[in-house]
Amino acid sequence: MPSQSTLRHGHGAGFELIETMRWEPATGFLRGGLHLARLRASAKALGFTFDQGTVENALRLAVGGDTALRVRLALSADGSVDITTQAFTPLAPDTTWIVRIADTRLASSNPLLRHKTTRRDAYDRARAEFSREQADEVILLNEAGDVCEGTITNVFVDMGDGGPLKTPALACGLLAGVLRGEMIEGGMAVEAVVSAADFRRAAKIWFGNSLRGLIAANLAQ
């Protein structure tokens, strides 16, 4: 594990921490407590100022009405908060994505991959390798050829062995997703090293994040 000192970018960070959440008129923020816990932990690890009262108040002021919202929260190193919202449209329940594997690689040694930040160059490069018609989501591998994550999702595979879903281990170089964490905590998924070969022979695959939940997928051949 990287030492704390290697992670503390502080006020000269040059990037923001982000959380993307869903707000429902009847129930409020979906997994809101888990999102704020992740934001607080990342802020501590990276030396960002974080005041939970300020963040919660900004979120409260940003939402309302009778329409589900996609809420993007950005936290600057000095603790300032910027929130943008737009209407949230869920995917159809029977949606199945087509996914492809990018040539772009992630470095498992990069500690920032464990945090959700605005440093997204690798993800943007991977997404740009395929058109939207070619792929709904794009998978990134690390330098060892092991599966890490999608550009906006975590990965889950059913290897057909009757056990829980497998999701790539954080040590491979990926984001500690909120939905991923909830599924691990609930026993629905376990961490594992998932090679590209494992991924290709999986019985079923899903991609998911807290905003949209689990989405079935097929790997394009």
**Contact criterion met (CB below 8 Å) for 202 and 13:** no
Query: What pLDDT, in 10s, does the model give residues 30-73?
Result: 999 999 999 999 999 999 999 999 999 999 999 999 999 999 99
**Residues 172-196: what's their mean pLDDT?**
97
The pLDDT of residue 105 is 98
Residue 214 reports pLDDT greater than 90: yes
- Segment 190-209 mean pLDDT: 97
pLDDT band at 221 (very low <50, low <70, confident <90, very high): confident
Whole-number Å distance between alpha carbons of 19 and 55? 11
pLDDT tens, position by position, 124-154: 999 999 999 999 999 999 999 999 999 999 9
* 4 pLDDT higher than 90: no
- CA–CA separation, 138 vs 127, rounded Å? 6
Domains of the chain by start residue, with CATH? 4-87 (3.30.470.10), 96-219 (3.20.10.10)
SS3 100: strand
d(CA 89, CA 27): 16
Average pLDDT over residues 184-210: 97
Q: Are 191 and 170 in contact (CB under 8 A)?
A: yes
